[in-house]
A and B are shown apart, each in its own frame.
Chain A
Amino acid sequence: MLRYLVRRLLVALPVLLGVTLLSYAIISLAPGDPVDLLIDPNMSAHDIEQMRIRLGLDKPWPVRYAKWLGELARGNLGYSYLTGRPVAERIAERVGPTLSLTLSAFLLTYLVAIPVGVIAATRQYSWIDYLTSFFALAGNSIPTFFLGLAMIYVFSLKLDLFPTGGSATLGGPGGWLDRLHHLVLPAVVLSTTGMGRTMRFVRSAMLEVTRQDFIRTAWAKGLSRRAVIYKHALRNALIPVVTLLGLELPTLIGGAVITESVFGWPGMGRLTIEAISQRDYPVIMALNLLTALMVLAGQLLTDLLYALVDPRIRYS
């Protein structure tokens, strides 16, 4: 197991390197100069040149990339072009909100999708089964930002049940209840796309398992319906569902960009949009690296979980 882990990590390294090289190249080869946004009209050509040298922009991009990698190896993510503050600092304050949003959406997805998927499978072709297929298609077809706006319209503006945005009441007493109140709408919106898909996945996994011999044996030996469905069938049906976890992660991180923008949620997604519009390249690079890391970690975690839930799988 340990050897497998080490090998996987070694394989992930070149992929990560490729991700950083690709993002660095794209950013550097793009027309437009980040210095243009930082200078004010009174600066002389000499000052601008000085600034260029200070930011390291006077060297060709492969040299800059090598330097960036060297700094990264020492744990330095660089400095923001805009504020001069360390990038790590700027990102650190945004990680918490994004994690709480994506994790809640994640939990919500599985807490709803697994029971509903099981019910849909045990009552195949019933109204609830059709409802899940409609929900899956609709959830996959509705634009996240439109759903977010519609939710704000209905639940915040018309019914006044939830705040329209932000992660806590400004100048309010704060507290976890207030934060939870702010979290509900964005988490529901973010989970919608994946929820329908997961329901259908759980459903078809259940249908597949319930047709197998050991389930017939379980019925035949007189086990209760509960024991058959929830103990024998569900446990085995959840094995393929685990693979879905890794697939959903990039979607969630990507979806967070839009959800955070709609709800003014102060997370990494909104920081991405901000950094992009400010051409703050060191911040963009760090965000790319971080999200790629999260995606790779998610994939690895999925494979490990897979072995955990299915003892037949052995990695070596």
Chain B
Amino acid sequence: MLLALPLARREAEPETPGRPDDATGARQVIRRFLRHRLAVMGLVILAALAVLALFGRQIAPHDPNAIIADVTTDAPSPGHPLGLDPVGRDNLSRLIDATRISLSVGVGSVAIYVTIGVILGALAGYFGGWVDMVIMRLADVVLSFPTLMLILVVTAVVGPSFWNVILVLGLLGWPPVARLVRGEFLTLREREFTQAARALGARDSRIIFRHILPNASGPILVAATFGTAQAILVEAALSFLGLGVQPPQASWGNMLIAAQSLTVLEEKPWMWLPPGLMIFISVLAINFVGDGLRDALDPRLRR
């Protein structure tokens, strides 16, 4: 699902050969990342969204679930700049409250599936043989479903809710990560430093976690970033279809349910345009960051 998007500025940037010693690996990565203008912009947007997510309750002008009774129109007004939703709740406050939900689903589900994917991929790549066989066939099975179909069926079956969406996305998302980690392990386990560690008598677990995994962390981080963007999109789609986060809890996806009515779609754009744009902007910002990270972590990929 995630294809590397070779984007943004592609000029050949010399790796400042004059001062090779003043930067450690991490500092070089940060410097390369900061040179990627869109990625920095994405990071700034993401920071703003994080503030909204963390302090939304304090920032929101109204209780996101309270029904406003003292205004006569649901159109935008000074007290309610984005108007009211079909139930009569303040749209701006719901939009802010939904930020926390959408970002939590993105981060939470990816944290789960990256953990599973790293463990399974490491086992498959490091030990090979029948362990590899079993794990990769299992990954094949999960990948043979169109992901969204499987997620739809499972969330419907276990019952749609905020936590179930995180769990389902988390438990079904691991195969691509496992494949990636397995590939890294297959090459890294043959490298000299791994053989040296083995020759020194290091245990398997030490070789896996101390020697190989840190060297594979770049691609994993990049995959996790793009995965977060994807998870936010899937949560929004599920919630839009009524199979995700359930009202009254606001999520950007379920705020768009209102637009399924053609009258709302045509005459009340304030009800559906802002949440749609929020999804778009946050996913775009995360994709920018992922792009910048990929370029910064692996300069060989630059073309």
Instruction: Give residues in A with beta carbon < 8 Å to B.
Output: 14-16, 18-19, 22-23, 26-27, 30-32, 124-125, 133, 136-138, 140-146, 149-150, 152-153, 157-158, 164, 197, 200-201, 204, 207, 244, 247, 250-251, 253-255, 257-258, 261, 272-273, 276-277, 284, 287-288, 291-292, 295-296
Interfacial chain B residues near A27, Cβ < 8 Å? 153, 157
Q: Decide if A257 touches B156 in the complex (CB within 8 Å).
A: no
B31 → A minimal CB distance (Å): 23
CA distance in complex: A125, B137 (Å): 42
Q: Decide if B279 touches A295 in the complex (CB within 8 Å).
A: no
B23 → A minimal CB distance (Å): 28
Query: Of all chain A residues, which has the CB nearest B232?
Result: A143
Q: Decide if B7 touches A149 in the complex (CB within 8 Å).
A: no
Interfacial chain B residues near A144, Cβ < 8 Å? 237
Interface Cβ pair total, 8 Å cutoff: 151
Sample of 15 more A-B contacts, CB < 8 Å, known A144-B237, A145-B240, A276-B153: A15-B140, A18-B137, A22-B142, A30-B157, A30-B158, A141-B233, A146-B236, A207-B303, A244-B3, A251-B1, A253-B149, A254-B148, A276-B152, A277-B242, A291-B146
Interfacial chain A residues near B253, Cβ < 8 Å? 143
B5 → A minimal CB distance (Å): 5
- B86 CB–A CB distance under 8 Å: no
Contact of B266 among A15, A153, A247 (CB under 8 A): A153
Give the bracket for the number of chain B residues in contact with chain A. 35 or more
Query: Of all chain A residues, which has the CB nearest B236?
Result: A143
Interfacial chain B residues near A18, Cβ < 8 Å? 137-138, 140-141
Q: Decide if A296 touches B144 in the complex (CB within 8 Å).
A: yes
Comparing B62-70, B105-113, B283-291, the segment that makes contact with chain A is B283-291
Query: Of all chain A residues, which has the CB nearest B240?
Result: A145
Q: Decide if B262 touches A164 in the complex (CB within 8 Å).
A: yes
CA distance in complex: A140, B236 (Å): 14
Once A142-B280, A145-B256 are accepted as A-B contacts, the answer to whether A15 and B148 lie under 8 Å apart by CB is no
Contact of A146 among B242, B256, B266 (CB under 8 A): B256
CA distance in complex: A124, B6 (Å): 13
Binary A-proximity of B264-284 (CB < 8 A = 1, otherwise 0): 011001001000100110011
Once A133-B8, A149-B256, A258-B241 are accepted as A-B contacts, the answer to whether A253 and B287 lie under 8 Å apart by CB is no
CA distance in complex: A150, B233 (Å): 16
Interfacial chain B residues near A201, Cβ < 8 Å? 3
Q: Decide if A143 touches B144 in the complex (CB within 8 Å).
A: no
Instruction: Give residues in B with beta carbon < 8 Å to A.
Output: 1, 3, 5-8, 10-11, 137-138, 140-150, 152-154, 156-159, 229, 233, 236-237, 240-243, 253, 256, 259, 262, 265-266, 269, 272, 276, 279-280, 283-284, 287-288, 291, 303
B271 → A minimal CB distance (Å): 11
Q: Decide if A272 touches B152 in the complex (CB within 8 Å).
A: yes
CA distance in complex: A241, B266 (Å): 40
CA distance in complex: A228, B138 (Å): 45
Contact of B144 among A158, A204, A258, A292 (CB under 8 A): A292
Contact of A272 among B10, B149, B280 (CB under 8 A): B149
Q: Decide if A254 touches B149 in the complex (CB within 8 Å).
A: yes
Interfacial chain A residues near B137, Cβ < 8 Å? 14-15, 18
Q: Decide if B146 touches A250 in the complex (CB within 8 Å).
A: yes
Query: Of all chain B residues, which has the CB nearest A258?
Result: B237
Return 12 A-B CB contacts under 8 Å, by A number.
A18-B138, A26-B157, A27-B157, A133-B8, A141-B280, A143-B237, A204-B6, A250-B145, A254-B148, A254-B149, A273-B152, A277-B242
Interfacial chain A residues near B157, Cβ < 8 Å? 26-27, 30, 32
Interfacial chain A residues near B5, Cβ < 8 Å? 133, 136-137, 140, 197, 200
Interchain residue pairs A-B with the least CB separation, the first 4: A254-B148, A146-B276, A18-B141, A30-B157
CA distance in complex: A272, B148 (Å): 11
Interfacial chain A residues near B241, Cβ < 8 Å? 257-258, 261, 273
Q: Decide if A149 touches B144 in the complex (CB within 8 Å).
A: no
Interfacial chain B residues near A143, Cβ < 8 Å? 233, 236-237, 240, 253, 276, 279-280, 283
Interfacial chain B residues near A272, Cβ < 8 Å? 149, 152-153
Interfacial chain A residues near B291, Cβ < 8 Å? 137
A19 → B minimal CB distance (Å): 5
CA distance in complex: A142, B253 (Å): 12
Interfacial chain B residues near A142, Cβ < 8 Å? 280, 283
Q: Point out which of B7, B147, B157, B288 has the most chain A C-beta atoms below 10 A from its C-beta.
A: B157
Once A157-B265, A291-B149 are accepted as A-B contacts, the answer to whether A149 and B159 lie under 8 Å apart by CB is no
A238 → B minimal CB distance (Å): 17
Q: Decide if B146 touches A141 in the complex (CB within 8 Å).
A: no
Once A30-B157, A30-B158 are accepted as A-B contacts, the answer to whether A200 and B7 lie under 8 Å apart by CB is yes
Query: Of all chain A residues, which has the CB nearest B259?
Result: A149
Q: Decide if A141 touches B287 in the complex (CB within 8 Å).
A: yes
Q: Decide if A255 touches B149 in the complex (CB within 8 Å).
A: no
Interfacial chain A residues near B259, Cβ < 8 Å? 149
Query: Of all chain B residues, which has the CB nearest A150?
Result: B276
Q: Decide if A204 touches B303 in the complex (CB within 8 Å).
A: yes
Once A26-B153, A137-B7, A258-B241 are accepted as A-B contacts, the answer to whether A146 and B265 lie under 8 Å apart by CB is no
Interfacial chain B residues near A261, Cβ < 8 Å? 241
Q: Decide if B6 touches A200 in the complex (CB within 8 Å).
A: yes
